[in-house]
Amino acid sequence: MRELYELCGAEPELVFSPYCWRVRLALLHKGLSFVSRPLRFTDKAQLAFSGQPLVPVLRDGEAVVSDSLAIFRYLDQRYPAKPLLGDALSSARLGLIDQLIQHSLPAGLFKALVLRIHAVIDPADHAYFRQSREQKLGLPLEEFADPVAGQASLQQALPPLNRLLATQAYLDGSAPAAADYLVAGFFFWAWSLGEQPWDSDSPVGAWFQRLLGQYEAQLGPVKRAA
Amino acid sequence: MRELYELCGAEPELVFSPYCWRVRLALLHKGLSFVSRPLRFTDKAQLAFSGQPLVPVLRDGEAVVSDSLAIFRYLDQRYPAKPLLGDALSSARLGLIDQLIQHSLPAGLFKALVLRIHAVIDPADHAYFRQSREQKLGLPLEEFADPVAGQASLQQALPPLNRLLATQAYLDGSAPAAADYLVAGFFFWAWSLGEQPWDSDSPVGAWFQRLLGQYEAQLGPVKRAA
């Protein structure tokens, strides 16, 4: 049995972590079925078997792997067909893309999404979420949150993706692979939280719809926050 | 004979275009000698043989190729040893890296370097440079120029590179390849103009010094503006 431990809201079907979405998309790419093991923030003790406290964790028979890119690497080693990472050079470039994207996308999106996250998580998670995030941010969630500024920050980050996707269907070329999934994780984060802070008529919007359509054709509708 | 048409200042040895630097580094990577054909901005008519007006242009026997990434592609096809781009997936990821880097590095660097460029180019180029750039910028060069703001903008863009280079010697892994050269072109741009708006003790600073050392060991000291 293949199990994906992932973050959920008060409703266990509402999974929204961008890093868990990366793994869902990678499993779909490989054609591998899995059972979702949704956890709330305060269920972290259930990850003790993985030796660390963060989702996503993939348990695949005897194998236990955490961290989205490590899971991509594991999947390519265990199931070589339909590579996600590619050869050593492709894999190194994916590492650079991940650094660049982590620097440009999540901060603005978090500003846009943080109160949505607070609204969808289980009440049991509220204290943990607020305390851990306010400590990192250095200010109350309500002062940090700013959907307009967050969307503006995202818009600043999208031109390079739009330019590339105006000329090719996927970030990784004519077919999607790991670069698409590691970027798309952030878009599924917003989408599952009920938001879409990008233009659906843009190349990025069309690319997201293609990935969403492929996902939903195989795994059914994505649960979205109301 | 292999000729590289590239942009120069009043002194023909002072070559500073970031896109020409990409090609110099790629030729060095391949171990291919070349003759520099330095051009001033107002010498563009000499590029008519290439069917377009921009440097870099590589003339290699019968082949004429412009655009830095197209030249990388040509070099891999004509001289397959020591690949720059790698396979189709590596090459697609390089395209994404180029878009992300073009979005994050050159704008701040140009703000820091523009008056330096104006100072080193041939007086015959002054009117063209000012007019073409002021039209794009929508304001006088002196109002746009801001070395402090430019350096601050560069600092905002460097964390992802520093994080990666803290764990590996080159952007493309344990050995340099096309991703290193396309990013390094911007650093050689600043360096040849006599500036170094990054911390030499940072991972990025050490990476640049490695590439500079390899270049100078083969091709001699880089000419820098006073």
Tens digits of residue pLDDT in B24-64:
999 999 999 999 999 999 998 999 999 999 999 999 999 99
Asked if B88 and A173 come within 8 Å (Cβ–Cβ), the reply is: yes
Task: Please report where in the chains the tokens 């440097």 appear, as a residue.
Answer: B55
Asked if A89 and B90 come within 8 Å (Cβ–Cβ), the reply is: yes
> Which chain A residues are closer than 8 Å to B92 by Cβ?
168, 171-173, 179
Q: What is the pLDDT of residue B173?
A: 97
Is B224 part of any domain? no
> Which chain B residues are closer than 8 Å to A100 by Cβ?
97, 100-101, 104, 160
Q: What is the pLDDT of residue B226?
A: 87
pLDDT digits (tens, 9 = 90+) for A131-153: 999 999 999 999 999 999 999 99
A156 sits in the region (left: phi over 0; alpha: psi -120 to 50; else beta) called alpha
* Backbone phi and psi for residue A35, each to the nearest 5 degrees, phi listed first: -105, 130
Q: What is the mean pLDDT of chain A?
A: 97
Is B209 part of any domain? yes
| Percent of chain A predicted with pLDDT > 90 | 99
Give me the residues paired with residue A5 across strands: A37, A57
Q: Flag whether pLDDT at B204 surpasses 90.
A: yes
Task: Please report where in the chains the tokens 């921009």 appear, as a residue.
Answer: B54
Copy the structure tokens of residue A213: 């359509």
In three-state secondary structure terms, A8 is strand
Q: Flag whether pLDDT at B166 surpasses 90.
A: yes
Q: How confident is the model at residue A226 (pLDDT cuts 50, 70, 90)?
A: confident
Mutation pick from A100, A156, A183 vs chain B, by most beta carbons of B within 10 Å, is: A100
Cα A193 to Cα A189: distance, rounded to the nearest angstrom: 6
Residue A20 belongs to domain with CATH number:
3.40.30.10
In three-state secondary structure terms, B9 is coil
Is B226 part of any domain? no
Mean of the pLDDT values across residues B98-124?
97
pLDDT digits (tens, 9 = 90+) for A41-87: 999 899 999 999 999 999 999 999 999 999 999 999 999 999 999 99
Q: What is the mean pLDDT of chain B?
A: 97
Copy the structure tokens of residue A124: 């049991």
* Domain containing residue B30: 2-219
Q: How confident is the model at residue A7 (pLDDT cuts 50, 70, 90)?
A: very high
Is B146 part of any domain? yes
Asked if B97 and A102 come within 8 Å (Cβ–Cβ), the reply is: no
> How many other CB atoms are found less than 10 A from the CB of residue B95?
19
Q: How confident is the model at residue B106 (pLDDT cuts 50, 70, 90)?
A: very high
Number of structural domains in chain B: 1
Nearest to B142 by CA among B103, B116, B107: B116
Is A225 part of any domain? no
Mean of the pLDDT values across residues A198-224?
97
Side chain identity at residue B109, one-letter code: L
Q: What predicted TM-score, i.e. pTM, was given to this entire model?
A: 0.97
Is A14 part of any domain? yes
Is B71 part of any domain? yes
Nearest to B211 by CA among B3, B67, B26: B26
Is A12 part of any domain? yes
Q: What is the pLDDT of residue B135?
A: 97
Measured CB to CB, residues of chain A less than 8 Å from chain B are: 83, 86-90, 92-97, 99-104, 159-161, 163-164, 168, 171-173, 177, 179
Specify whether the CB–CB gap between B9 and B22 falls below 8 A.
Answer: no
Indicate the angle between helix axes B178-192 and B88-104, nearest 10 degrees.
Answer: 30
Q: Flag whether pLDDT at A163 surpasses 90.
A: yes
Cis peptide before B56 (omega within 30 of 0): yes
